[in-house]
Amino acid sequence: MKYIVILGDGMADRPVPELGGLTPLQKARKPNMDFIAKNGFMGLVRTIPKGMPPGSDTANLSVLGMDPGIYHTGRSSLEAVNIGITLNKNDFAYRCNLVTIDGDIMSDHSAGEISTAEAKPLVEDLAKALNIELHLGTSYRHCLVTRDGKPGSVTVPPHDFTGQKFTNRFPQGENGEFFTSLIKKSRGILENHPINLERIRQGKNPANSIWIWGEGKAPTLPSFYDKYSLRGTVISAVDLIKGIGLSIGFESINVIGATGTLYTNYAGKAAAALEALKTRDFVYLHIEAPDECSHRGKLHDKILAIEYIDEKIIAPVMEEINKRGHDYSILVMPDHPTPLDIMTHTDDPVPFAYYRKNGNKPANFSITGFDENNAKKAGIYIESGHLLMDEFIIKQTAPRE
């Protein structure tokens, strides 16, 4: 039996007036997701426990069967794992975004989705000029480390207030003044940097500031193999997701051209998943694009991202795995909603659907496709999101309320 999870980050949404009250999932053409929903089990699952921030770290821990209430230690430390940073007991990691600031407005949380190659000299020059331990990540996502420090920083992700004033969002609590000073000083280093002058010349958003957020300490996650007796692989363009995978014992495959944006290498990710399934039992294939489109308020790009996932990942994966003759189970879902109207995450339950080849469940004729409304209509609800993986792997029956 092979197990495949296709995770479309932030796919879930709210009704959009421009779409006549439909959501992007309802509007998108996605015959393969719809097949899974109509021929498998479908429902709603709460991936963000009540009272916890609706972050991708919390949500993806839930999806992978890890209770965030027990194992959540902050997203940046999980990103640090993938970057190769060793954190000791009293060390803390923080996400350091390269951002675009326009006056007192947070104009772009990703600095125009700056490339890693362009970010590298910016990160190196910032680390030297500010005398900080700053590690290169991917695109706009980088990692600041404080050694032998104290917890208690209160920070806000920049994608939570894109297009709004940032002057009342500076870090607070432990290290608040220090981090605020770094943010302010970074502008003097970055504004006239040759990389940014060239980006401006090309009509791109400059990375003219940093933003520090997301405190985390060294993670202590249990082994996925010990829990499920399956050897897994994670495929993602995002350090956080790869870091979670590595922390639970997965191998991580780096796909050339996997960017985390709308124009990522979908075909390469699908091919990597199929190659991994030759020797591994479980593949976690994460696609960031719908979430990034939501954070940027790009409705039609989000619809296109959903369609690309269906056409360029789910279709070839299912076609090839069927040819190989394996029994398999495939789960498709978002980790959390990222509604376009607010351009950030919420903690609302999300739709899920899984299909098992040669399963004994008849076609569900009341379900017409994979979307939020059909998930509600299915009548299956899982309150504790980390239990979904038990249902998917162990029970393979209709989840219980």
Model confidence at 398, pLDDT cuts 50, 70, 90, reads: very low
Does the structure show a pLDDT above 90 at 86? yes
Question: Residue range 184-212: average pLDDT?
Answer: 98
pLDDT of residue 358: 81
Q: Kindly indicate the confidence band of residue 324, based on its pLDDT and cuts at 50, 70 and 90.
A: very high
CA distance 380 to 44: 6
* CB atoms inside a 10 Å sphere around CB 84: 8
pLDDT in tens, 64-84: 999 999 999 988 999 999 999
Q: Residue 303: what pLDDT?
A: 98
Q: At 286, phi and psi to the nearest 5?
A: -105, 130
pLDDT score recorded for residue 172: 97
Q: What's the whole-number average pLDDT of the chain?
A: 95
Which domains, and CATH codes, for the chain? 2-71+220-395 (3.40.720.10), 82-216 (no CATH)
Q: What percent of the chain is predicted at pLDDT more than 90?
A: 94
Spatial separation of the C-alpha atoms in residues 86 and 94, rounded to whole Å: 13
Q: Is the pLDDT of residue 361 over 70?
A: no
Would you call 79 helix, strand, or coil by DSSP? helix
Dist. CA 38–CA 36, nearest whole Å: 6
For position 197, what pLDDT does the model report? 98
Q: Determine how many CB atoms are found less than 10 A away from the CB of residue 278.
A: 8
What mean pLDDT do residues 362-374 have?
A: 85
pLDDT for res 363: 59
- 25 pLDDT higher than 60: yes
- Residue 362 binned pLDDT confidence (cut-offs 50, 70, 90): low
**Which residues share a beta bridge with 5?**
284, 331
The band of 366, judged by pLDDT with boundaries at 50, 70 and 90, is confident
Give the residue-averaged pLDDT of 249-265.
Answer: 96
By CB atoms closer than 10 A (0-12, 13-18, 19+), residue 220 is exposed
pLDDT digits (tens, 9 = 90+) for 140-171: 999 999 999 899 999 999 999 999 999 999 99
* Confidence band, pLDDT 50/70/90 cuts, at residue 364: low
pLDDT over threshold 50, residue 194 = yes
What is the arithmetic mean of pLDDT over 354-358? Answer: 91
Please determine, for residue 231, whether its predicted confidence score (pLDDT) is greater than 80: yes
Count CB atoms within 10 A of the CB of residue 188: 11
Global pTM exceeds 0.75: yes
Query: What pLDDT digit, counting tens, does each position of 119-145 carry?
Result: 999 999 999 999 999 999 999 999 999
CA 382 to CA 391: how far, in whole Å?
10
- State which amino acid sits at residue 7: L
Give me the helix-helix angle, 266-276 and 315-324, nearest 10°: 30
Name residues whose C-beta falls within 8 Å of residue 143's C-beta, 6 or more positions apart in sequence.
Answer: 76, 79, 80, 83, 85, 93, 94, 95, 96, 134, 135, 137, 239
What is the per-residue pLDDT for 401? 40
Banded model confidence at residue 359, pLDDT cuts 50, 70, 90? confident
- With a CB cutoff of 8 Å and minimum separation 6, the contacts of 257 are 264, 265, 268
**pLDDT given at position 395:** 73
Each residue's pLDDT tens digit, 271-323: 999 999 999 999 999 999 999 999 999 999 999 999 999 999 999 999 999 99
pLDDT for res 218: 92
